[in-house]
Structure 1
Amino acid sequence: MSKTTSLLVEAKSKGSYIQFLDLPDDALLTIFTHLDIASLALLSRVCRRLKALLNRDHVWMLFNDNFNILQVDNDKHDKGLPLKEKFRISHNREKGVYQETLLTNFPGRQLPWLQYHNGNLWVSSRNVIQSIKPSVHKKSRSKKDNTGHKLNQDVTKFVIRDEKIVSGCLDGSIHIWETSGSHTEISNAHSLDTQAVDLCGTTIVSGSREATLKVYSLQYDDSGGIQGVEERSCFQVGDRVWSVALSQGGCFCASGTAFCEGESPISIVDLNKMCRVSQLGQEHKIGAGVLDLLFEDERSLLTCGYDAYLRQWDLRTNTCVCCWEQQYDSAYYCLRSDGHRSVFAGTSRHGSVDLWDKRQTKSPVKTFYVGHRNSPVYSLDFSSTHLFVALDLQVKALNFSCYK
């Protein structure tokens, strides 16, 4: 005889009624599976016991299809969030409920770049890459970390992978920092400014205004430190390179160009064979360059640029399998994907960021207008609770975990 049955028999013999809270946990959890979200939310306010039960993940798993939770790999805080809290944050994000916070101001108009990594936000400002600790609490202020790197020339792009920072500069150099503090420079990587860099394992790729894409290999000593850098190959891509990306396995490299000259705006290079295997976007209009691109897996590539489209390419067939059009015909300057359903894309006007669900192509889930000025979104990144946006004069954070 189960505990629930025994309670009912005992109550009947005494001529009394059993109350809802007298039921054991397994009975309450079974009842919860027949309730809707609004009823569960009300029940969680009744008492501490019900609140504790309703914080369990398996209570909310039935509603998993109702919410679009971001799949975040760069945020350790995400692992400690209960499913109920993730649903609430997802609901806030899609309804536009957030708190906007200023993280830093720039002394003048810039083209900043940023990346969120392990609880720290790294931001480039002129010739400095600075670390900022964004606060997850509403009343706390974000703090600038003393950690940072200063260069002789302005930083164009940088990337953080495997606890290393790789950056490109206007003088054509590439700089590499390790967590140990050691610094390696490739001083003559390009004759003109290095516009884009990426890192995967021991492979570094870089693109320049001189219309070249270069591949380098890191060489390590016995202690695991960088001993040197060897240039493996150089490719002519026909026009100024604005963006590069390596696939997760490091087998393929993609580059996006200005497409004012050349055969196509996107080139795919097989790094095992060291040859260009495909060219994408030949049908684009001249000048519809690719400003940012990102591998979701070895055969799926996301791109965006001046043609006002966010596109997904299948590299097995070299075709565009899906596209999402910016509703006001603004260029997309940057993009970030969670590798699942959600893609954030920053536009060229009014500090606006479009959140797309890849299952929908007609209109974005939500558009966020960051700041109060007409500025492009030069770079963006996100955590499980925040969206970070770099504008021409400042860096802002949108906190979706707030209560309103």
Structure 2
Amino acid sequence: MSEINLIKLPHEILVNIFKRLYIFDLRNLMLSCKYLREFIENESSLWKIVCRRGLIIATNEKRFPITWYNRSRISYNWRRGIFKSKLIVQHSTNYIPWMQLFADVLILSIGSELKCYAIDKSGFNRGLLWSIHVPIMQRYDVRTNDVSRFILRENLIVCGNRDGSAAVYQFNDIRKKPRLLYYIENCHENGQVEVTAVESFNNSVITCSNISPHVCLWSMDEDFVKNTNSNCISEFIVPECVGSRSLAVDPTKTKLAIGPNGNSKPILLDINTGDYLMTSKETKDLKHVIRDIQWHNENGIIYVSHSGKLQYIDVRTNDVIYTARDPFQSSLYCVKSDGDRAVIVGSSEYSRCVLFDLHSSHHVQMYFTQKKSSPIYSLDFDARKLVAAADRGVAVANFNVNASTTKMKDYSHIFEFVT
């Protein structure tokens, strides 16, 4: 009887055998010989099958591509809490920062400044590329001139300020300082209320305020610079709403999701017609606030509330199809989705972020990104890293680490509270 050599079996047979094994068994096989290690690492079809068993962080990175084997390995670290964290930006004054990853840079608002940092694929700070002071308006009241929120859309940066103004910058290369394109001095109530959130829609800017029921659509045509406060082409009164905390335009740029004050569900507006596709009269409650909102895909919205809930709503049926709660029942300030199954939220305490799987009923893991007890005001992530902004600094959690030599911080168990 002839001996059967495993490594001489046909390619299809090996894949059919290995796909039935657990990841622990595959790792042992990879240690057995160089051939099997290279075969398993480079066989994408095998890892696509294996990855169906657990949450895999989606990626669309082009500058730093990642193999299916490494996606599986790094996603295992996400689920187990295996990472190394480091402060990459630090300052001495308390702020409410907002940030966004964009290719290989980090854009961050600190007070009335907008800063751009070069980062590597692990998220570590490689130096300040540029810094600009966003224009401010002197209001002679208790408001600050800080940037409340900003968004990046194509080649534009739109900033909403707490002094009631908004600024639009244009760039060709994000690594170079952008130029001021438009400035709106008085966005709502003649500038007497802050601009809480902004969006960009085709050749227009959208603004809202947390204490005004109006959502304004501002034109960015050639006459904009000549008369910055008379280019409000549309003004929508949000029904059953005392103000709005967050805005998000859908991928088709036809619908606007609005996160209102005094409600536990978002409101959906058709931007072209001005019709409301979804209202929330039955869920009106002055104790509720939708802090942050994002389109998960063209048919679904994810959002977080002051009451500590994460919810996912299907805009085709207006039904909430996923609900989860912060493990500590804390308020949630921000949310980010990978467009597939992974959703990460920022909590109001302990500099804590929480990972949820839309296929699971409870949280997957928690990450204490800094040692200080601060809310996470803004976050962003990709397959390798999580970047989170607290009141005095920004920290990165790098998951592309060796699991055998990195300390595990596992908080995946469910917390139960006794009332």
User: What TM-score range do you get, normalising by the shorter chain?
Assistant: 0.7 to 0.9
Query: Larger radius of gyration, structure 1 or 2?
Result: 1
Are the aligned partners of 2:264 and 2:305 in contact in 1 as well (CA < 8 Å)? no
- Corresponding residue of 2:56: 69
Structure 1 residue 210: Cα displacement? 4.6
Are the aligned partners of 2:199 and 2:247 in contact in 1 as well (CA < 8 Å)? yes
Residue by residue over 1:217-274, the C-alpha shift from the partner in whole angstroms, topping out at 9 and shown as x without a partner, is: 43479xxxx9998432112334232111111111111222322xxx886332111212
Counting only pairs closer than 5 Å after superposition, residues 2-401 of structure 1 correspond to structure 2 as 20-21=6-7, 28-29=14-15, 31-33=17-19, 35-56=21-42, 57-73=44-60, 75-77=61-63, 80-136=65-121, 141-151=124-134, 152=136, 153-180=145-172, 181-184=178-181, 185-190=183-188, 191=191, 192-211=193-212, 212-219=214-221, 230-237=231-238, 238-259=241-262, 266-280=266-280, 282-361=282-361, 363-401=362-400
Structure 1 residue 208: Cα displacement? 1.6
User: How far apart in 2 are the matches of 1:235 and 1:392?
Assistant: 33
Are the aligned partners of 1:155 and 1:169 in contact in 2 as well (CA < 8 Å)? yes
Which range moves more in the overlay, 349-358 or 29-38? 29-38
Structure 1 residue 29: Cα displacement? 4.9
User: How far apart in 1 are the matches of 2:94 and 2:347?
Assistant: 17
Structure 1 residue 25: Cα displacement? 5.7
Structure 1 residue 21: Cα displacement? 4.9
Q: Using structure 1 for the length normalisation, give the TM-score.
A: 0.85
Structure 1 residue 319: Cα displacement? 3.2
User: How far apart in 2 are the matches of 1:271 and 1:37?
Assistant: 48
Query: Could you tell me which amino acid in structure 2 is paired with residue 368 of structure 1?
Result: Y
Which range moves more in the overlay, 233-242 or 377-386? 233-242
Where 2:76 maps in the other structure, the secondary structure is: helix
User: How far apart in 1 are the matches of 2:129 and 2:107?
Assistant: 12
User: How far apart in 2 are the matches of 1:34 and 1:328?
Assistant: 37
User: How far apart in 1 are the matches of 2:280 and 2:312?
Assistant: 11
Are the aligned partners of 1:162 and 1:201 in contact in 2 as well (CA < 8 Å)? no
Structure 1 residue 77: Cα displacement? 4.4
User: How far apart in 2 are the matches of 1:84 and 1:328?
Assistant: 34
Are the aligned partners of 1:219 and 1:227 in contact in 2 as well (CA < 8 Å)? no
Query: Could you tell me which amino acid in structure 1 is paired with residue 150 of structure 2?
Result: F
Distance change (3 Å), C-alpha of 1:59 and 1:188: same
Distance change (3 Å), C-alpha of 1:327 and 1:20: closer
Structure 1 residue 187: Cα displacement? 2.4
Where 1:289 maps in the other structure, the secondary structure is: strand
Structure 1 residue 23: Cα displacement? 5.8
Which range moves more in the overlay, 164-173 or 84-93? 164-173
Where 1:360 maps in the other structure, the secondary structure is: coil
Distance change (3 Å), C-alpha of 1:107 and 1:163: same
Distance change (3 Å), C-alpha of 1:94 and 1:36: closer
Residue by residue over 1:272-302, the C-alpha shift from the partner in whole angstroms, topping out at 9 and shown as x without a partner, is: 2123343226425322111111122344222
User: How far apart in 2 are the matches of 1:32 and 1:315?
Assistant: 40
Distance change (3 Å), C-alpha of 1:22 and 1:227: farther
Unaligned runs of 5+ in 1: 1-7
Structure 1 residue 26: Cα displacement? 6.2
Are the aligned partners of 1:292 and 1:335 in contact in 2 as well (CA < 8 Å)? yes
Are the aligned partners of 2:369 and 2:395 in contact in 1 as well (CA < 8 Å)? yes
User: How far apart in 2 are the matches of 1:81 and 1:232?
Assistant: 45
User: After TM superposition, which residue ranges in structure 1, 4 or more long, deviate above 6 angstroms?
Assistant: 226-229
Residue by residue over 1:55-92, the C-alpha shift from the partner in whole angstroms, topping out at 9 and shown as x without a partner, is: 2212322212123222234x3345x2111100011110
Structure 1 residue 137: Cα displacement? 5.2
Distance change (3 Å), C-alpha of 1:313 and 1:19: closer
Percent identity over the alignment is: 23
Structure 1 residue 43: Cα displacement? 2.8
Where 1:91 maps in the other structure, the secondary structure is: helix
Are the aligned partners of 2:330 and 2:348 in contact in 1 as well (CA < 8 Å)? yes
Are the aligned partners of 1:213 and 1:255 in contact in 2 as well (CA < 8 Å)? no
Structure 1 residue 388: Cα displacement? 0.7
Where 2:232 maps in the other structure, the secondary structure is: strand
Residue by residue over 1:144-163, the C-alpha shift from the partner in whole angstroms, topping out at 9 and shown as x without a partner, is: 32223221332110111213
User: How far apart in 2 are the matches of 1:349 and 1:173?
Assistant: 30
Distance change (3 Å), C-alpha of 1:137 and 1:256: closer
Where 2:285 maps in the other structure, the secondary structure is: coil
- Corresponding residue of 2:415: none
User: How far apart in 1 are the matches of 2:360 and 2:17?
Assistant: 34
- Corresponding residue of 1:5: none
Distance change (3 Å), C-alpha of 1:299 and 1:281: farther
Unaligned runs of 5+ in 2: 137-144, 173-177, 407-419
Distance change (3 Å), C-alpha of 1:27 and 1:396: same
Where 1:287 maps in the other structure, the secondary structure is: strand
Structure 1 residue 391: Cα displacement? 0.6
User: How far apart in 2 are the matches of 1:358 and 1:285?
Assistant: 26
Are the aligned partners of 2:386 and 2:398 in contact in 1 as well (CA < 8 Å)? yes
Residue by residue over 1:122-155, the C-alpha shift from the partner in whole angstroms, topping out at 9 and shown as x without a partner, is: 11100111112233359xx522322232213321
Bigger relative contact order (CA 8 A; separation at least 6): 2
Query: Could you tell me which amino acid in structure 2 is paired with residue 97 of structure 1?
Result: I
Where 1:85 maps in the other structure, the secondary structure is: helix
Are the aligned partners of 1:157 and 1:167 in contact in 2 as well (CA < 8 Å)? yes
Number of equivalent positions: 378
User: How far apart in 1 are the matches of 2:9 and 2:298?
Assistant: 52
Query: Could you tell me which amino acid in structure 2 is paired with residue 44 of structure 1?
Result: M
